[in-house]
Amino acid sequence: MKQKGINQYLVIIIVLLLGLILLNTFQNREDDYTRAGLIQDMEAGRVREVLIHPNGEAPTGYLEITFTTGEEKTLYATDITELEALVRAHGIEPQVLDIQRENWFLTDMLPILVVVIAGVFIFVMMSAQSSNGGGNSKMMNFGKSRARLSMGEGRITLKDVAGLQEEKEELEEIIDFLKDPGKFTRVGARIPKGVLLEGPPGTGKTLLAKAVAGEANVPFFSISGSDFVEMFVGVGASRVRDLFLDAKKHAPCIVFIDEIDAVARRRGTGMGGGHDEREQTLNQLLVEMDGFGVNEGIIVMAATNRVDILDPAILRPGRFDRKIAVNTPDVGGREEILKVHAKNKPLGDDVNLRQIAQTTAGFTGADLENLLNEAAINAAKDGRAYVEQEDIKKSFVKVGIGTEKKSRIISDEEKKITAYHEAGHAILFHVLPNVGPVYTVSIIPTGSGAAGYTMPLPEKDEMFLTKGKMKQDIMVSLGGRIAEEIIFDDITTGASSDIKKATKVARKMVTRFGMSENIGVINYDDDGDEVFIGRDLAHPRSHSEAVAGEIDKEVKSIIDECYTKAKEIILENEGVLHKAAALLLQKEKITGEEFAALF
Ligand code: ADP
Ligand code: MG
Ligand code: ZN
């Protein structure tokens, strides 16, 4: 699209230039004043003055004739010496100017050029403004797709996507198809039209889609679902139409719709009745996807982290019938991602990416990229040209928890409470088998508002949570509050988020995972997706008040059980509690090893 635009400008510029040059030439030689005319005028005494301009290439030149009326005319001559004699013969003394090696460019071309450049400049400005949608011309471009087309240079390929081995394999045939659609059509193979990438934010969905386009070396139209959503009805739908029109011209190509959940939410769930803007847009998208043939060479890729809220119609065969789950990376994947992003960062020899990969379970690709970037910033701040393990450790805390705020002033009493609170968490992390061990315990307040933190070292990636593990999670959460209770007469509000977390886990155990004997293996969980107020109003809770009461009772009994057990463990280790708190007050931050040594 861009290319064509530039060509158009070029043509216009050339035409303008030629036109002006011609015009200029005509203006100069336009008056068909002749030698005969001059003779006539001189004989009639109408000529007052004659100026002779010899050219560089003598004897050519021109005569500038001023009449008694004040009028002026120009006569071009191939031989001025002959004309000079002619003028003299009529009793007029011509003024012969010096031979001017007239700079043709300066005198004739420069004014033209200035005009042309100014004209082109104004023209380009105007068109640029209208295509940016700025100013008044915005209205004209409303329905245009906002897709960005990118191809060629600096393209991302599968090599840039670390880990995600299975995901890449699943995309292999799509890439093959885009490279050579004929290969597939000849044997009558059907290639999916739509591929839906689904996974948490930052796991590399956008990156993967770009890599597919880059790998196949085809145009990549990308648009975000939220771009479709405008105030004015019909705009979204027309954008979709426009987008696919463009794509068809560039096939084989990829159309990528990021955050598709913004347009493709389940229909008929809005508060204000059915036919809203989003719905029209979605309908248009479905129409377009049905509209082109299976092997036309357009692959529609889309990304979402909320596959659960998508309209089922979008997942039907012939639409997004290929779903690829893009998950948070495992240890191996994390190490590879770290390697990719460490490529342009010189690492000190103490840096152990494998060890960092091990301590970052749950981190997405984006988190890891961020982690290394923060580490590089730390190194730069210290004036080092390479990144040390310590830089990464520092940024680990920053990325995970927010910057440590050493500057905030806290009272000694507050500090003491926090120290015991964190020590309580840490003891449970240490003692309980399925959680921890402790990585760092700190009573330095964090950027996100916590007074301190206890960070465990994740040991392995877990596919399933067991009942035992979930109970231990609850116990750890309660540990802070329990320690406060044992040591101080009073309790603080500092444990509110711990309590909330514990309650949430317990409730999930009962309503989602069927882990309570009294409630049984039934899902009473509404997924907590209060996205559609309309839908929630229309569908009352799926269980009765009696069951709700039963659930609350079960949640309470789980919490109570965990509380009692956790308190026993902390009381058994009261010596460690005091020692850990004292050490924390002294050093503010202790490592897992320092803590373990207290036992
Ligand atoms: P998503 O679209 O899933 O939210 P992105 O594709 O936008 O995530 O990823 C954000 C950034 O995180 C990428 O630009 C890249 O730097 C990094 N990243 C994520 N996953 C990977 C990966 N598998 N390999 C390399 N970098 C990754
Ligand atoms: Mg994305
Ligand atoms: Zn706590």
The string of pLDDT tens digits covering residues 291-337 is 776 667 888 999 998 877 888 888 888 788 888 988 777 778 889 99
Q: Which one of 155, 166, 203 would you pick to mutate in the ligand 1 pocket, going by the greatest count of ligand atoms within 8 A of its CB?
A: 203
- Burial-class residue 124 by CB neighbours within 10 Å (0-12, 13-18, 19+): middle
Could you tell me the pTM of the whole model? Answer: 0.54
> Own/partner pairs for 480-485, CB < 8 Å, 24+ apart?
480/421, 480/422, 480/424, 480/425, 481/421, 481/424, 482/424, 482/563, 482/566, 482/567, 482/570, 483/420, 483/421, 483/423, 483/424, 483/425, 483/427, 483/570, 483/577, 484/417, 484/420, 484/421, 484/424
Q: Is 255 in the pocket of ligand 1 (CB under 6 A)?
A: no
- pLDDT on residue 493: 79
Q: How far is the CA of 364 from the centre of ligand 1 (A)?
A: 8
* 354-358 mean pLDDT: 82
Q: Tell me which residue of 277, 285, 281, 269 sits closest to 320, measured CA to CA.
A: 285
The C-alpha angle with vertex 164 and arms to 158 and 168, in degrees rounded to 5, equals: 50
Distance CA 568, CA 427 (A): 12
206 lines ligand 1 (CB under 6 A): yes
Please indicate whether residue 365, judged by its CB atom, sits closer than 6 Å to ligand 1. Answer: yes
Catalytic residue ranges: 422
- Judged by DSSP in three states, 429 sits in helix
Mean pLDDT of the chain: 79
Instruction: Give the residue-averaged pLDDT of 3-20.
Output: 69
At 192-245, the pLDDT tens digits run: 888 999 888 888 999 999 999 899 888 888 888 777 665 556 677 788 888 888
Name the DSSP class of 222.
E
Q: Pairing mode, if any, of strands 253-258 and 220-224?
A: parallel
Contacts of 509 (CB under 8 A, 6+ apart): 467, 470, 515, 516, 558
Distance (Å, whole) CA 420 – CA 347: 38
| Segment of 83-97, 352-366, 427-441 carrying the highest mean pLDDT | 427-441
Provide the residues around ligand 2 (an ion) whose CB is within 5 A: 206
pLDDT top residue among 102 and 485: 485
CB 301 within 8 A of CB 257: yes
- Is residue 527's pLDDT more than 90? no
Q: Which of 193, 205, 220, 178 is nearest to 261 (CA)?
A: 205
Backbone angles phi, psi at 551, to 5 degrees: -60, -45
Give Dmax over CA atoms of the chain in angstroms.
133
Residue 368 beta carbon below 6 angstroms from any ligand 1 atom: no
Residue 3, pLDDT score: 46
Cα of 207 from ligand 1 centre, angstroms? 5
Give the whole-number percent of the chain exceeding pLDDT 90.
19
Between 546 and 424, name the one with better pLDDT: 424
Cβ(340) – ligand 1 distance below 6 Å? yes
Query: What average pLDDT does range 164-187 have in this prediction?
Result: 86
Do the Cβ atoms of 75 and 87 come closer than 8 Å?
A: no
- Mean pLDDT, to the nearest integer, of 569-582? 95
- How remote is the CA of residue 226 from the centroid of ligand 1, in Å? 20
What distance lies between CA 253 and its chain's CA centroid? 20
Q: Which ligand ends up closest to the CA of 205?
A: 1
Cα 22 to ligand 1 centre (Å)? 58
Tokens of 33: 């004043």
For ligand 1, atom 6, the nearest C-alpha belongs to: 204
Mean pLDDT of 252-264: 86
Phi-psi category of residue 202: left, alpha or beta, with phi > 0 → left and psi -120 to 50 → alpha: left
Q: Give 472-506 pLDDT, tens digit per residue.
A: 999 999 999 999 999 987 777 778 889 989 999 99
Interstrand relation of 322-325 and 438-442 (parallel, antiparallel or unpaired):
unpaired
CA-closest residue to ligand 1 atom 14 = 207
For residue 442, the ligand closest to its alpha carbon is 3
CB atoms within 10 A of CB 366: 16
Q: Which residue has the higher pLDDT, 16 or 505?
A: 505
